[in-house]
Structure 1
Amino acid sequence: MMNFSLPMIFSFFMVLCGLWSFVKYHKHLLNSLLSLEFMMLGVFWLMGLQLTSVGMEIYFSLFFLTLAACEGALGLSLLIYVVRSHGNDYFSSFNLLSC
């Protein structure tokens, strides 16, 4: 049986809130990217709690944090490209045939 601590419950709550905001505010690209980053932060915190509680090395969580930072930079560059080409970040204004 798993022992759930308060930080673990809080990190699950962070991931669920990020998922809820990703589903609810899906019309803007910036809101989608922010909710994905919030979910990554919750998963990073949960992974850090789990790896330190079992006594494993923390290198895997640093690798995950590096990949999350690369994902954020890629999302930001995509957002800049979309705003420069379309003028806004609404998903409804994208037309795949015009690109």
Structure 2
Amino acid sequence: MLFSSYMIICSIIMIFCGLWSFCLYRKHLLNMLLSLEFIMLGIFWMMSMGVCFLGGEAYFVLFFLTLAACEGALGLSLLVSVVRTHGNDCFNSFSILEC
């Protein structure tokens, strides 16, 4: 009981650290994507501890992990596309006038 509450508190701290780094490092796309993946890892960890604590099935957790992997692949493909078109991943180099 005590170990599971520590794990849930640790996952909540992971989520808040990910949100803090997302807000702090918002100038580069790669840092923002890494922060989002860290948030997803914290949510996955919290969900898996919750499912293990309640004794439920892990199908929903695996579905969430699949969606997080798809989100990561989509973010990396967007990063590659942005670096090819603009030369870097800084948001300051983007212009509203460009397509």
Give me the TM-score of the superposition, normalised by structure 1: 0.94
Structure 1 stretches (4+) deviating beyond 2 angstroms? none
Extract unaligned runs of 5+ from structure 1.
none
User: What does residue 79 of structure 2 align with?
Assistant: 79
Q: Which amino acid aligns with 2:77?
A: S
User: What does residue 59 of structure 1 align with?
Assistant: 59
Shift in Å, 1:97:
2.2
**1:31-87 CA distances to partner (integer Å, 9 max, x unpaired)?**
000000000000000000001111110000000000000000000000000000000
User: What does residue 50 of structure 2 align with?
Assistant: 50
More helix by share: 2
User: What does residue 18 of structure 2 align with?
Assistant: 18
User: What does residue 29 of structure 1 align with?
Assistant: 29
Q: Percent identity?
A: 64
4-13 or 57-66, which moves further after superposition? Answer: 4-13
Q: Which amino acid aligns with 2:65?
A: L
CA distance in 1, matches of 2:89, 2:83: 6
**1:6-30 CA distances to partner (integer Å, 9 max, x unpaired)?**
1111000000000000000000000
Extract unaligned runs of 5+ from structure 2.
none
Give me the TM-score of the superposition, normalised by structure 2: 0.94
